Amino acid sequence: MTGTAARRATSHAGPAWLVLSLVCACQFMVILDASIVNVALPSIRGDLGFTATGLAWVVNGYLLTFAGFMLLAGRAVDLLSPRRLLVAGLLLFSASSLIGGLSTTAQVLVAARVAQGVGAAMLAPATLAVINTSGADGQARARAFGAWSASGGVGGMAGAVAGGAITTGLSWRWVFLINVPIGAALVVMATAALAGTRTGRREPLDLTGAVTGTAGLGALVYGVMQSADNGWASAAVTGPVGVGLLLLAVFTVVEGRVAARPMMPLRLFGVRSVAVGTVTLLLFGAVAIAMWFFTSLFLQNVLGYDALHAGLGQTPAAVTFMVVARLAATLLPRAGTRALVLAGCACLVAGFGWLAQAHAGSGYVTAVLGPTLLVAVGIGLTFPTLMAAATADAPGGDAGIVGGLATTAGQVGGSVGLAVLATAAGARAGMEADAGSPAALAAGYDLVFLTAAGLGIAIAVVGVLLLGARAGTRRP
């Protein structure tokens, strides 16, 4: 379907403000659920009798299916329509949240989290496809990406703060149950906002590609997740990673030479913005992990903050990100992609370089607040710009799969980045004479921040040299 056809087919959607509110609320809920559970883990372990290894699957079960099913969900968006996938994802996400909140055994909770991840995987590309096929002009579309990105920042901030408050004041069960009324309201909103939108293409799903692509991504992410406990050279890591890479190689062959109607048409990588956007978002996933995850660890393990106050300590940066992401959306049509990526990466490099100077005796304001505000400006300028650029030139009929590819790149980059950076931090801390002390841990985190600065340089080089000056401002 051409971009013109897609716009004509979506002409009966609801008011633009309602559609934008819907996609932003969905993004908020997905990111909220990725962060709100972390603070509740000790209470969950005590109530349901998790082992230390089993408890990790409350988080990993969600992240694994979220990353693994994204491409399949993206193609389903194109075949079934964004509205159908959005409503189905909301129903699955809400139902699994209800089951998780009412669960009485560890096994049921993990199963609910796995189902939540599938629901989240359906929502992410569907929301991007709604933006890309809305028929909005370049400036309105850029503003929509800025609002969508900022909503994720709100969700992450709210999760870090609300998780502790809900667990302390109510029960850990409410970190799941809170999704139920939100999800129900969004189903009603989606039915109204997206009524009359296109119903997708009448085309069979590429089952071989769906199986090999989904299983390959899942195995790869699973193997990377095992590195923290088993080491990169262990069979627990090399086995799944090897199987994942093999399946992804088969997936590539199937999509390029075998499938008549491939799930992931390889021709899309001939679109420069799609190819370059995928690479930069892979790198950006690791940068985002370095900012939010490792800064939280620094606040807790080096400066001695509890989880709730660590979340509050990151709130100024989260607010800054939200404001700048909205500003970037306004600037993008006028300044262009290259200018915003370069400016954002300059802030990332300077902010992470500043963070890398922090140590055990540092104060919050000068060692954490200042540099994280600078990094947040960089993320706010860079993330919505890269997302808009990566999806801008996708054909209308492939908006879902391109959105799935973009979000998958960020998720896989974050998963691999977390594993690699955590390993590097642990190894660096272990080199200190007083390994395990706040000073030793600070040395490990400083290495993470320096690596993130290097990734910022890499994003700048790839993005500025290869992205079009105005990518991300055109209609799909």
**What global pTM score does this model have?**
0.77
So what's the pLDDT on residue 1?
37
**Backbone dihedral angles phi then psi of residue 359, each to the nearest 5 degrees:** -145, 180
So what's the pLDDT on residue 85?
86
Q: Give CATH superfamily name and number for 3-205+263-466.
A: MFS general substrate transporter like domains (1.20.1250.20)
So what's the pLDDT on residue 137?
57
Per the prediction, the chain carries an average pLDDT of 80
Predicted confidence band of residue 2 (pLDDT cuts 50, 70, 90): very low
Which tens digit of pLDDT belongs to each residue from 320-372?
888 888 788 778 878 888 888 899 999 999 999 999 998 888 888 988 999 99
Asked if residue 7 has pLDDT above 70, the reply is no
Which tens digit of pLDDT belongs to each residue from 185-218?
999 888 877 765 555 556 667 788 788 888 888 8
The dihedral region occupied by 171, where left means phi > 0, alpha psi between -120 and 50, and beta the remainder, is: beta
Which tens digit of pLDDT belongs to each residue from 106-154?
889 999 999 998 998 888 888 877 877 665 555 677 777 777 777 776 7
Tell me 64's DSSP state: H
Q: Are 3 and 402 in contact (CB under 8 A)?
A: no
Q: Specify the higher pLDDT residue, 210 or 157.
A: 210
Tell me 15's DSSP state: -
Distance spanning both ends of the chain, measured CA to CA: 11
How many whole angstroms separate alpha carbon 247 and alpha carbon 214? 9
Which tens digit of pLDDT belongs to each residue from 51-109?
766 777 787 788 888 878 888 888 888 777 788 888 999 999 999 999 999 998 888 99
Average of per-residue pLDDT across 267-279: 79
Domains in the chain: boundaries: 3-205+263-466, 206-262
Predicted confidence band of residue 475 (pLDDT cuts 50, 70, 90): very low
Which tens digit of pLDDT belongs to each residue from 426-459?
888 878 767 678 888 888 889 999 999 999 999 8
So what's the pLDDT on residue 151?
77
The dihedral region occupied by 231, where left means phi > 0, alpha psi between -120 and 50, and beta the remainder, is: left
